[in-house]
Amino acid sequence: MEAGSLPVALELVAGGGGPGLSPEKRAALGASLQLLQRDYRFQRVWFWGSIQGVRGAYYIAEGLGPDRAAPRSRLYSLNCVEWSLLPPATEEVVALAEQLKGRFQGDPSFEYDYPEMNAEDAERLFKDGKEPVIKEEARLVATIEQIDRAVGIVPRGAFVKTPLGSVQENRSFEGLSLTEAKKLSSYFHFTEPVNLKNKTLLEKADLDPSTDFLDSLEHDIPQGSWTVQLEKGGAVVVLRSLLWLGLTFYHVPMTKQYGYVYFGTGEKNVDLPFML
């Protein structure tokens, strides 16, 4: 969610009774995120959320440039004041992190032991025959990448794709109507589309290429992995992910107010298909 609208946005997503942020942490974030944007010369800074470890929590921010679809710079803090830049999330690191189970420790330098895996997975991950060392910092950036890909969402029409291929905020976006805001098809995954590429030409005929360039939530697997609720007397639409528990998205219909935040342990709910 936007750093500038953080106090209001956190109040709008607080209805679920999740951990949230203390007043002290909110005040520290309000000041440090502005300095972060200035020092790194980001066009925008988003507060992504936090991952709670056994001995402490990681607070995450994302810095954006002119092209909103370009890879984002990710930073973490242990105290909401001092920030450290995370390395890029490579496919290899994401694959390695998927093998790790259990809670985060809260120590960026903590080193993980690899679990038992079959020969095929071992050959794919350890190409040179040696097990690489994976620290918690690498697991952290891989988990953030996984969550962004799976459940990082935006309303339909909030972003437009230019003829040159870059993605920018839609200045004419004034929010979804209340009727549209209650539909999963009105929200898109803000990442490289997968299902869109498999649509037939007939299915693409009704799509606007400038706004419908992402995958919508209506075909997410498993079905039922999102809950849609009206809160604050019907003034706010809130979506919560059951796949990554702790991810909450909000949108105030007929306004430009929207965003998502994650407060959780960084563990995927792999039992969801058996719970539905």
Instruction: Kindly give, in sequence order, each residue whose CB lies less than 8 Å from that of residue 254, ignoring residues fewer than 6 positions away.
Output: 174, 175, 176, 177, 178
pLDDT at 203 over 80: no
More confident residue, 40 or 130: 40
Q: What are the pLDDT digits (tens) for 151-196?
A: 999 999 999 988 888 888 899 999 999 999 999 999 999 988 877 6
Spatial neighbors of 174 by CB under 8 A, at least 6 apart, are 254, 255, 256
The model's confidence at residue 272, banded by pLDDT at 50, 70 and 90, is confident
pLDDT score for 193: 80
Is residue 48 pLDDT above 90, yes or no? yes
Name the pLDDT band for 17 (thresholds 50, 70, 90): very low
147: pLDDT strictly greater than 50 = yes
Q: CA-CA distance, 267 to 103, in Å (whole number)?
A: 7
User: pLDDT of 84-142, one tens digit each?
Assistant: 999 998 898 898 888 888 899 999 999 987 665 555 655 655 565 556 678 999 999 99
Res. 16: pLDDT tops 80: no
C-beta contacts of 4-11 below 8 A and 24+ residues apart:
5/257, 5/259, 6/30, 6/33, 6/47, 8/257, 9/250, 9/257, 9/259, 9/261, 10/261
At residue 80, the pLDDT reads 92
Categorize the per-residue pLDDT at 75 as very low, low, confident or very high, splitting at 50, 70 and 90: very high
Cβ(110)–Cβ(135) under 8 Å? Answer: yes
Token duo for residue 104: 């985060």
pLDDT reported for residue 176: 93
Q: Which has the closest alpha carbon to 12: 265, 262, 260?
A: 260
190: nearest Cα among 140, 143, 98, 259: 259
78 confidence band (pLDDT: 50, 70, 90) = very high
In this predicted structure, the answer to whether residue 208 has a pLDDT above a threshold of 90 is: no
Instruction: State the pLDDT confidence band at 145, using cuts at 50, 70 and 90.
Output: very high
